[in-house]
A and B are shown apart, each in its own frame.
Chain A
Amino acid sequence: MTVGNPTTDAAPGATATGAAVEIDQVAVRFRTKKKDTTALRDVTLRIAPGEFVAIVGASGCGKSTLLKLVSGLLRPSSGQVRLDGEDVRGPRRDIGYVFQRAALLEWRSARRNILLQAEMRRLPKAQARARVDELIAMTGLTGFEDAYPNELSGGMQQRVALCRALLHRPPVLLMDEPFGALDALTREQMNVELRRIWRETGTTVLLVTHSIAEAVYLADRVIVMTPRPGTVAEVIDVDLPAERDYGRTMSDPVFARVTGRIRDLLGATTSAD
C-alpha cells in the first residue's frame, strides 16, 4: 500500500539482475478491423535503477507503445516486461507518467492538479501537501500554485504535469515527448531543469523524444529505434560528465560525435520518410 519506497521482495530470481525495467523479446501487434499492425518486434532492453534513458526513432515506430508496455497500460503480444523485477500484468501504480499534452484538469488549480495523484492514491493529506510544496519549489512553480491551467504557459503546464508524476516518488518515470509542444527556448530551460531534478531524485527515467540534442544532453544512454515495426537499432552510451552545463555540453566534441551518430542512424533507417 505504501508508496515511496521502491524496494520489493519480488519473485526470487527476477530481481537477481537488479534492473529497474526489463523488456525481454517483446513484440506488439495491433489488430484492427482493417489491418494488423506490428508496432514492435523483438525488443530487448535492460535499464538499471537510477538510469536516464532516452528513446528516439521515427514517428510510428512504437516509442509510445514501449512506454505503455512498461506502465502496464498495454500487454505485449509476446515476450515479457518486468518492472522492478515483477512481471507487469496490469496498470502499474509505481510509475509516474508525463504525456506530450500536459493532460491537466481545467477546473483544478496547479496545486490541486498535482494533488490529484495523492487523492487517487488516498495518501495522507498533510503529507501530500508538504510534498506538493516541495515539488513546487523544486520545479520553479512557486507563485503559480493557485493558477488554473488556462492561465499557465505550456512550459508551466508541463511542470505541473511533472510534479503530479513525481508526487508519489515513483521509482520509474515515463515521459512521452513531454516537451514536444514547447518552443525551443522553453524546451532548453526544461531540459536543464529535468536534468537537475533527475539528479536530485535519483529516479529511473525513460524519455521518448524527437529531439536528438535533448536525448543526448539528458540521457546516460540513447536507444535508437528502427522504423515500424520498431526494434532497437542501436544503444548508444553518452560519455558526457554527470554535471552538464547546457552551453558547454552543446559544444563538447563528445556531444557532437554522439548526436552525429544518432543522426546517421536515423537518417539511414528513416530514409523511407
Chain B
Amino acid sequence: MAAQSTIEQPGRTSPPDRPTPAARRPARPGAAALRFASRTWRPAAVLAAILVLWWVVTAAELVKPYLVPSPSATFDVVRAQPGYFAHHTWITTYETVLGFVIAIAVGVLSAVVMVYSPTVEKSLYPLLLFAQVIPKIAIAPLFVVWLGFGLSPKVVVAVLMAFFPIVISTVTGLKSIDPEMLQLSATMGAGPAQTFRKIRFPAALPHLFAGLKVAATMAVTGAVVGEFVGANEGLGYVILQANGNLDTPTLFAGLVVMSLLGVVLFVVVELLEHLLLPWHASRRTDATTTTM
C-alpha cells in the first residue's frame, strides 16, 4: 500500500485526504532501520573522521606518544584489563544514573510546586540560582567531608549538576500551556489534579525532555567531579591515577569511556522521548511524500 500513499500536506487543504497510518509510524521494521541509518550515518562519519585524524597525528608522530597515545594504544589498555574498566565504569554509571533519577524526582517536584505557588517560586528561585552558579568542583570537597568517601558525595554532586536544567525546563513547560486550554478544563468541571494529569503535565513533556537531555550529560560530569575530589573507584579515579603515573593511554581510555557513558545516557533519554512523545512536532517528518 506504500506505493501510492503520498501524504499530501496532512491538513490545511480542504477537503483533506484521509491520513494514512504511514504518516505516523514506519510500517515495517526495515523502514525503521533505514530511518535510523539515515539519521546516524552523518555523526558516525564525523566520529570516524576524528578517529582517522587522531590515528594520522599519532602515526606520523606529529605529537610525542607520551602526550597523545595512538588510538590502538588506547584501546589496547582497555583490552588488557577489561575487568578493571568494567568495574570502574559500572561505579560511575551507578552514581550517574542514581544522581540523574534523584534529580528528576526532586527537579520535577519542585518545578510543579513552584508553578502552582508563586510564593514558593519567589523564595526558591534565588536559592536555586545560587546552587547553580556555585562551582561544583569547589563545594565537592565539602560533601566528602560531610558524607565520606562512599557513593553519596558523588551522587549528591551529580544531583546538583542535573537538577537545574530539569527544574528550569519543567517550569517553562508547565507555564507554556495555552491559557484557553486551562479555561476549557475549568468549564469541563475538572479539578486541578485532573487538569494537571490530563493536560498540563503531558503538554510540558517536550520541554521536560529537552531539560533531561542536558541533565543526563551533566550528571556524568557531576559524578566524575565527585570522584576527582575523593574516591578509590570510578572513572574519575582511573583518570586521576593515570594522570599521576603519566600513563596517558589509560587516561585517554578513561576519557573515551566517560564520553561514551554520557552519549549512551543521552541516547537512552532520546529513545524514551521517541517512545513517549510520538506526537510531538519536533519528530514530525513534515510533508513527507513517500516515493517507495
Chain A residues in contact with chain B, CB under 8 A? 68, 71, 73, 91-93, 95-97, 99, 101, 103, 105-107, 116-117, 119-121, 143-144, 147-148, 150-156, 183, 185-186, 189
Can you list 27 A-B contacts with CB-CB less than 8 angstroms, sorted by A residue number?
A68-B183, A73-B183, A92-B187, A99-B180, A103-B178, A103-B181, A103-B184, A106-B280, A117-B188, A119-B194, A120-B185, A120-B188, A120-B189, A121-B189, A143-B18, A144-B18, A144-B19, A148-B19, A150-B10, A150-B284, A152-B11, A152-B19, A153-B12, A153-B15, A154-B12, A183-B14, A186-B14
Residues of B in contact (CB 8 Å), total 32
Please measure, in the bound complex, the distance between the C-alpha atom of A105 and the C-alpha atom of B202, giving whole angstroms: 9
Contact between chains at B199 and A91 (CB < 8 Å): no
Given that A101-B178, A106-B280, A107-B202 are contacting pairs, would A91 and B187 also be in contact in the complex, using a CB cutoff of 8 Å? yes
Chain B interface, DSSP helix/strand/loop, else mixed: loop
Given that A119-B198, A120-B190, A185-B14 are contacting pairs, would A107 and B279 also be in contact in the complex, using a CB cutoff of 8 Å? yes
Chain B nearest CB, measured from A119 CB (Å): 7
**From A93, A148, A155, contact of B188 by CB (8 A):** A93
**From B14, B198, B277, contact of A116 by CB (8 A):** B198
**From B16, B185, B187, B190, contact of A95 by CB (8 A):** B187
Contact between chains at A99 and B11 (CB < 8 Å): no
Mask of B260-289 contacts with A, CB within 8 angstroms, 1/0:
000000000000000001011100100000
Contact between chains at A147 and B14 (CB < 8 Å): no
Contact between chains at B190 and A153 (CB < 8 Å): no
Residue B203 interfacial (CB < 8 Å): yes
Please measure, in the bound complex, the distance between the C-alpha atom of A162 and the C-alpha atom of B248, giving whole angstroms: 68
Of chain B, the residue at the smallest CB distance from A92 is B187
Of chain A, the residue at the smallest CB distance from B284 is A150
Chain B nearest CB, measured from A116 CB (Å): 7
Of chain A, the residue at the smallest CB distance from B205 is A107
**Number of cross-chain contacts by CB at 8 Å:** 86
Contact between chains at A151 and B10 (CB < 8 Å): yes
What chain B residues lie within 8 Å of A117 (beta carbons)?
A: 188
Of chain B, the residue at the smallest CB distance from A101 is B180
Contact between chains at B11 and A154 (CB < 8 Å): yes
Contact between chains at B11 and A91 (CB < 8 Å): no
Please measure, in the bound complex, the distance between the C-alpha atom of A214 and the C-alpha atom of B187, giving whole angstroms: 26
Please measure, in the bound complex, the distance between the C-alpha atom of A174 and the C-alpha atom of B10, giving whole angstroms: 29
What chain A residues lie within 8 Å of B35 (beta carbons)?
A: none
Contact between chains at A120 and B194 (CB < 8 Å): yes
What chain A residues lie within 8 Å of B16 (beta carbons)?
A: 152-153, 156
Please measure, in the bound complex, the distance between the C-alpha atom of A157 and the C-alpha atom of B50, giving whole angstroms: 49
Of chain B, the residue at the smallest CB distance from A90 is B186
Of chain B, the residue at the smallest CB distance from A117 is B188
Of chain A, the residue at the smallest CB distance from B202 is A107
What chain A residues lie within 8 Å of B186 (beta carbons)?
A: 73, 91
Please measure, in the bound complex, the distance between the C-alpha atom of A95 and the C-alpha atom of B189, giving whole angstroms: 10
- Of B11, B184, B280, which is in contact with the most chain A CB atoms at under 10 Å from its CB? B184
Contact between chains at B198 and A120 (CB < 8 Å): yes
Contact between chains at A105 and B203 (CB < 8 Å): yes
What chain A residues lie within 8 Å of B279 (beta carbons)?
A: 106-107, 148, 150
What chain A residues lie within 8 Å of B183 (beta carbons)?
A: 68, 71, 73, 91, 97
Chain A nearest CB, measured from B155 CB (Å): 33
Chain A nearest CB, measured from B179 CB (Å): 10
Contact between chains at B187 and A73 (CB < 8 Å): yes
